[in-house]
Amino acid sequence: MTPFGLFWLWSGAIWNVEYLVYGALIVSFGLSFLQAVAAILAANVFYALLGLASLQGPETGTTAFMVSRAPFGQNGNRLVALFNWVTQVGFEVEGLVLVVLVLEAMASRGGIVPGTAVKAVFIAGAALVQFVMPFLGHPTITKVLRYLSFLFIAVFCVMAALVAPHVDLATLRTHASWPVWTTAILLLVSAGGLGWTENGNDYSRYLPRSTPKAKTFWAVTLGTAIPSVLVELLGAAAYVVSPKVTAVTGVPSSFSSWFFWPFLALALLQLFAINTLDLYSSGVTLQALGLPVKRWGAVVIDTIVSSAVTAAVIFKGAFYSDLSGFLSYIVVWLAPWLAIVMTDWLLRRGRYDPEALATRRGGIYWRDGGVNWRALVALVLGMTATSLWINAQSFVPSYMSPLSSVTGGSDMSWVFGILVGGLTYWALWERRLGARAPFEAGGLR
């Protein structure tokens, strides 16, 4: 792969109807259009986190949760790998549910009432189609996402032309409070720059080791931030025209009637494409977890599990509330994990021993029985800090943290988790190894 190819791989994932919905959702929270613009611009700056979380791939030639063995140890890493697998399955479920909802809308437009049996067929069919591309592997994923991004850019221009003449900003005079604005930021960061960090090295590892870090960083950061900003801004503007845009199936009704079939047909392709990245990463995460399966076996396991959860979500009928809650809660582990991995990378000056990362037992990352307890302590404290400033009062399970309560319902969980997790790991690392930290065991390259 080249940095240019990595740029288009990520762009192909983010030029997606999901991000159109995210832009509309935050306006539905009560934000004015200008507040939504500010939230979108501020939140998408944090795609820089994904850029940073992609720098270890070319150096090590391995995936994000194999790199994660460096701070946590081979056995200690199993815990965060499990967290990540559950998170990836959650995003897979999001994509599958949206696919099923699109199929239901198509069936209804064609005069078919999607009852329980029809929905079950849609779920099974979507799962089977979703299975194909991750099974074919990285080269296929790269090419398909690039070509799909070109298609969606064209559709984006058409949508923008249809929306722009009808946007009347005077119709949306509400102004949300600062706490609500922070919740909007959380949703966008969780679905964007922070929420993709556990996938970064899974794709950057295909770059040559000699690739300049600046090229890797900017390829990933710009490849994600540019389409995310544009599509979310369009979603926010489209909400002004029609609140139906908060649902994927409501998007075509906000535009001209002829737009229904071409839009939903492309939306299906894009939803399958973005799910491919999650399926691929969850598969390699299962391998990092220590499950003795080949990549195709891991994809089969994920497909079965995500299909079962998708059925539960579809028949429960509260998808968008479940989605918002999911995006709120995953930061509890993800924010401190990212901080620990990036702090470890900085302290060791970007040097890893790829062979030791792949070793099942022993090596410089083995530590105490394969566990670096200092990293786990930092993780627990970071997760505790995250839980102290989270506002999930409107979701299931409902929870209002102490710091959210005293700040009017604000949600700065992800910031607090990053700070506490990273600083704790730094303090414990320095206490143990002092000035020799970057050259632990003399085995770092």
Map out the domains of the chain with their CATH numbers.
3-320 (1.10.4160.10)
pLDDT digit string, tens, across residues 285-331: 888 888 888 877 888 888 899 999 999 999 887 887 888 888 889 99
What pTM did the predictor assign? 0.89
Return mean pLDDT, the chain.
Answer: 87
| Per-residue pLDDT at 256 exceeds 80 | no
The verdict on whether omega for the bond into residue 212 sits within 30 degrees of 0, i.e. cis, is no
Span 257-268, average pLDDT: 83
Between 26 and 162, the higher pLDDT residue: 26
Pick from 166, 159, 187, 226: nearest CA to 27: 187
| Per-residue pLDDT at 91 exceeds 80 | yes
Q: Are 374 and 432 in contact (CB under 8 A)?
A: yes
Q: What was the pLDDT predicted at 64?
A: 94
| Per-residue pLDDT at 365 exceeds 70 | yes
Distance CA 322, CA 97 (A): 11
Q: Are 55 and 214 in contact (CB under 8 A)?
A: no
Work out the percent of the chain whose per-residue pLDDT is above 70.
93
Cβ burial 150-170 (10 Å sphere, 16+ → b, else e):
eebeebbeebeeebeeeeeee
pLDDT digit string, tens, across residues 420-435: 999 999 999 855 444 3
Span 166-171, average pLDDT: 70
- For 273-285, the three-class secondary structure string (H helix, E strand, C coil) is HHHHHHHHHHHHH
